[in-house]
A and B are shown apart, each in its own frame.
Chain A
Amino acid sequence: MIEVHSISFRYHDDWVLRDVSFRVERGEFVGVIGPNGSGKTTLLKILYRLLSPQSGEIRFELVPLKKMDRADIAKKIAVVAQETHLLFPFSVLETVLTGRSPHLGSLMFESDKDLEMAKKAMEWTKMLPFSGRRMDELSGGERKRVFIARALAQEPEVILLDEPTANLDIHHQIDFLNLILTLNQERGLTIVMASHDMNTASDFCDRLILLQEGRVYKMGTPEEVITKENIEKVYGCEVEVDQNPFSGKPRINLLKKKTPLPSSP
């Protein structure tokens, strides 16, 4: 569905992504993991053409992303970004309705059908009771759900998620990830999720892409990617990897170690 052909990208002088290639198949749940600054967010931004790579090419269903209209991209690919500005205290319903924007073209107003779509999206994400609330009155977890609802209102084929569980407590984390999993398995939505949380990525994703300094270090199933060698090499710290007794997926355990302070003179 998405083919990434050896893309390289730099903001200024330093290359942030180097010669990255991978494919995402329809219906897959792909996790992008890697240390801070390894290029995860940049990669997602390139996937919906917020940024354009200096070399290489991305194809969406065989069509080069470069050749696609902005609105057409937004009809296929929805994005839930890390944190969205709330310069405007729009209501929940208004925010979800903006997801209809790519389908409206030059129309100035949403139709009743758009309103129906938005309400359905809020129902799936259990946000319907909040529809009149203002965005700045919601908690972080509720806000994330609103943006998922907005993404669903776009009727996309792919949802890109950037650190969706950062800043959420475990209750909201698991709620959110289960919602994504349901959308993936029951609605057939393709998911690409950048995450710091390797254990949940291991549990939820079909396939993982491990980035190191802008290169793909390893790609494959969680079992292939999350190994002691790979993680220690990429993150540069000692870990132990065992199996999560509930999911059977690899689990990373951080090791406690005393670091001696430099002795005072």
Chain B
Amino acid sequence: MKLITPQKVLTISILLGLLLILVLLISIAIGSVRVPPFRSIHILFQSILGLKGAGNETERTIVLSLRLPRAILAGVVGAGLSVAGATFQALLKNPLADPYILGVSSGAAVGTIIAILLGLSASSLGLPLASFLGALLTILVVFYFGRQDGRIHPNTLLLAGVIIGSFLSALIMFFISVSQKEELRTIIFWLMGDFSFANARSILIILPYILLGISLLLLRSRHLNLILSGEENAVQLGVEVEKLKLISYLCASLMTAASVSVCGLIGFVGLIIPHSVRLIFGPDHRLLIPSAALIGASFLIASDTFARTILAPTELPVGVITAAFGGPFFIYLLRTRKVIKTL
């Protein structure tokens, strides 16, 4: 009998946590500028201990100010998008749901593009702010139209999100068609997802959202299991279903909004990570949420490491890598249909 126990969740989380640390170290050790891998790790550990010794000034800057924040940001975003995806799949009862399905990303994109067209540079704080505001506005509008008689209706919410997302996509295309060449490049790069502006500030901006979102969802993970067998079923077992749906929607949307606002659109993570984790560990959210967070973090750090090293010194947008891995993988899932059947 393989029941989910606290010990099992803890053991798997620790193992996946170790994997995450390993991926993080590898990501810090390699890059387009050659810093000997062990020296990179040496630099990292010394800085954790508050010492300075290994490497020269340039190497320290590369490791501590470029690679480290970038890897951490990719990890935080990967965790957030994966858990958001798993939550949307449960909330909307739709295996094809991903964090962007309800138009949050398009709203963020419109906010960002407006900011870029107004002349804000890609590295300023105004850009994530504009993006977050766009996403927030979309979350509220979709929520407003996605309810009937004061209740969240999964299908209505889905339709409202998809339609509002399509409308916003039309706006995006309009803005792209009227923008200048210089702005265009910034916009396109943003749309493909990009971690190159990662710094301590961007991590601090999104970390509270992701941590709070994952914690709140984890606390309700047992109830998320019940809602998957139908809302009536959950009510029969004493779940405050409307409250649960509201909290899930807000947590998943805000995590998505925060992620998108600092690094643009990174596709596929929120779709393939939850499904892969279900394949490996089963559908129970008490295990799914922590494992999806940790595996999603590792996956996105690894993808970003590929993106910046594979054609070095040219950097690919990380979205290209996640899509290149994610696309074929998803086709595989569709062929075997294992996952589709279980949701």
Contact = CB atoms under 8 A, between A and B. Distances in A.
Contact of A88 (B5, B232, B237, B343): B343
Interface in B227-270: 228-230, 232-233, 235-240
Interface stretch (A93-101, A138-146, A204-212): A93-101
Interface residues of B, number: 30
Contacts of B221: 108
A166 interface: no
B229 A108 contact: no
A79 interface: yes
B311 interface: no
Given A87-B93, A98-B225, A108-B6, A70 B233 contact: no
B283 A109 contact: no
A89 B238 contact: no
B2 to A, nearest CB: 9
B176 to A, nearest CB: 39
A109 B5 contact: yes
A81 B225 contact: no
Give the size category of A's interface with B: 35 or more
B221 to A, nearest CB: 7
A81 B342 contact: no
A104 interface: yes
Interface string A76-93: 001101001111111101
Contacts of B232: 45, 50, 81
B22 interface: no
A68 to B, nearest CB: 10
B238 A70 contact: yes
A108 B237 contact: no
Contacts of B3: 93-94, 97, 110, 115
Nearest to A132: B1
Contacts of B235: 48-50, 70
B185 interface: no
Given A98-B226, A108-B6, A73 B238 contact: yes
A249 interface: no
A212 to B, nearest CB: 26
Contact of B236 (A74, A87, A94, A97): A74
Nearest to A106: B219
B283 A88 contact: yes
A71 interface: yes
A75 interface: yes
A108 B283 CA distance: 15
A87 B228 contact: yes
A89 B342 contact: yes
Contact of B237 (A91, A94, A99): A99
Interface string B84-108: 0000000001000000000000000
B236 A79 contact: yes
B201 interface: no
A71 B241 CA distance: 11
A102 interface: yes
A201 B233 CA distance: 25
A131 interface: yes
Interface in A57-79: 70-75, 78-79
B6 A74 contact: no
Contact of A109 (B229, B286, B342): B286
B4 interface: yes
B1 A87 contact: no
A75 B238 contact: yes
B222 interface: yes
A50 B241 CA distance: 10
A132 B219 CA distance: 27
B230 A85 contact: yes
B97 to A, nearest CB: 13
Nearest to B235: A50
* Residue among A50, A73, A88 having the largest count of chain B Cβ atoms under 10 Å: A88
Nearest to A91: B1
B343 to A, nearest CB: 6
Interface in A19-60: 45, 48-50
B236 A109 contact: no
A104 B4 CA distance: 15
A70 B4 CA distance: 25
A17 to B, nearest CB: 18
A108 B286 contact: yes
Contacts of B286: 108-109
The 5 residue pairs across chains A and B that have the minimum distance between CB atoms: A74-B238, A102-B238, A71-B238, A79-B236, A85-B230
27 contacts: A48-B235, A48-B236, A50-B236, A70-B240, A72-B238, A74-B237, A79-B236, A86-B229, A87-B93, A87-B228, A87-B229, A87-B343, A88-B343, A89-B342, A90-B229, A91-B1, A94-B3, A97-B3, A98-B226, A101-B223, A101-B238, A102-B238, A104-B222, A106-B219, A108-B222, A109-B5, A109-B222
Interface of B: 1, 3-6, 93, 218-219, 221-223, 225-226, 228-230, 232-233, 235-240, 283-284, 286, 341-343
Given A70-B235, A81-B236, 13 more contacts: A50-B235, A70-B239, A70-B240, A72-B238, A74-B238, A79-B236, A85-B229, A89-B341, A90-B229, A98-B226, A101-B239, A104-B222, A108-B286
